[in-house]
């Protein structure tokens, strides 16, 4: 959501709270006016405590001495039933719930601002995907030789190929066939094969062989991409391959990062 634009959820909360507060104020005002009117009609009521009058009005209860006027003909083992009115507080709370329900219904079904359950779910999934993508972007630069995993995404393999051609092809050949550096397409490795060993070799270099350390020129994520591309060169059989060097590496089942 653009910065400075109010969240629709906040607007809904403000609207509901404002509506409830307004209805409550109207209710209090009506009760006050009712009390004033009753005092004018019955001056004796003025002497009664305000709290007692308020409780009586809110409960709308019939005095005990007048209960015979609301007595029903229901009789259960000598227990009689009274036909009391609904308490005013209950009645007005019911009216208030209708008002809130109307506001809720309008907001979610007609205003265009509210999101229904499926829309809210899809929105949350989208936000989660963005957070995962951001996390993966950050975590790409926390890769090292201990936790590096082989990549399989075509986009990142292609990125590794571009980096390889820019930085590695001069010594290893464009197809990894070898030159000044060893052949990268066979099963033999001077410093160990597999994703962790290749990554480590790229990161720290081999000074005695003239290979520089790339950790100051490539990010950990970039070195992971180059490593993953190099591993795809196995058994590609380029033209004029350099003779095998080092020891044969028996590939183990490697963890792949998807």
The tens digit of pLDDT for each residue in 105-128 reads 888 888 888 888 898 899 999 999
Domain 143-257: CATH architecture, name and number where available: Orthogonal Bundle (1.10)
Asked if residue 1 has pLDDT above 80, the reply is no
C-alpha separations of 179 from 165, 205, 231 in Å: 14, 17, 18
Q: Using alpha carbons, select from 243, 250, 203 the residue that is nearest to residue 222.
A: 203
Structure tokens at 30: 């009506």
Scanning the structure block, which residue is given the tokens 């909360």?
A: 13
CA distance 22 to 48: 29
87 has a pLDDT exceeding 70: yes
Q: What angle do CA 179, 183, 188 make, to 5 degrees?
A: 150
Distance CA 184, CA 236 (A): 10
Answer whether 0.75 is exceeded by the pTM: no
- In this prediction, residue 54 carries a pLDDT of 66
pLDDT for 14 equals 80
Residue 213 near residue 205 (C-beta atoms within 8 A): yes
Contact between 34 and 57 (Cβ < 8 Å): yes
Q: Label residue 176 exposed, middle or buried (CB < 10 Å: 0-12, 13-18, 19+).
A: buried
Q: What is the pLDDT of residue 127?
A: 93
Contact 225, 199 (CB under 8 A): no
Strand, helix or coil at 186? Answer: coil
What whole-number percentage of the chain has pLDDT above 70? 84
The alpha helices in 149-253, defined as continuous H runs, are 154-167, 169-172, 194-204, 220-231
Task: Round to whole Å and give the CA distance between 42 and 91.
Answer: 25
Spans of all domains in the chain: 8-117, 143-257
């Amino acid at each position: 959501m653009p910065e400075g634009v109010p969240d629709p959820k906040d607007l809904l909360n403000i609207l509901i709270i404002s509506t409830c507060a307004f209805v409550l104020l109207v209710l209090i005002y009506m009760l006050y006016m009712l009390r004033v009117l009753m005092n004018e009609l019955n001056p004796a009521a003025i002497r009664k405590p305000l709290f007692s009058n308020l409780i009586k009005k809110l409960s709308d209860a019939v005095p005990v001495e007048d209960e015979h006027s609301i007595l029903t003909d229901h009789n259960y083992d000598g227990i009689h039933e009274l036909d009391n009115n609904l308490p005013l507080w209950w009645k007005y709370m019911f009216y208030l719930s209708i008002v809130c329900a109307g506001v809720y219904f309008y907001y979610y079904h007609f205003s265009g601002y509210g999101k229904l359950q499926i829309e809210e779910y899809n929105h949350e999934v989208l936000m989660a995907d963005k957070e995962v993508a951001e996390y993966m972007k950050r975590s790409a630069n926390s890769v090292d030789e201990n936790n590096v995993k082989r990549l399989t995404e075509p986009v990142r393999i292609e990125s590794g190929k571009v980096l390889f051609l820019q930085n590695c092809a001069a010594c290893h050949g464009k197809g990894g066939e070898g030159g000044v550096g060893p052949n990268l397409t066979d099963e033999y490795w001077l410093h160990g094969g597999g994703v962790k060993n290749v990554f480590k070799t790229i990161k720290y270099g081999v000074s005695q062989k003239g290979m520089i350390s790339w950790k100051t020129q490539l990010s950990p994520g970039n070195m992971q991409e180059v490593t993953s591309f190099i591993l795809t060169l196995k058994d590609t059989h380029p033209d004029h391959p350099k003779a095998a060097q080092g020891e044969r590496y028996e590939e183990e089942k490697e963890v792949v990062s998807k």
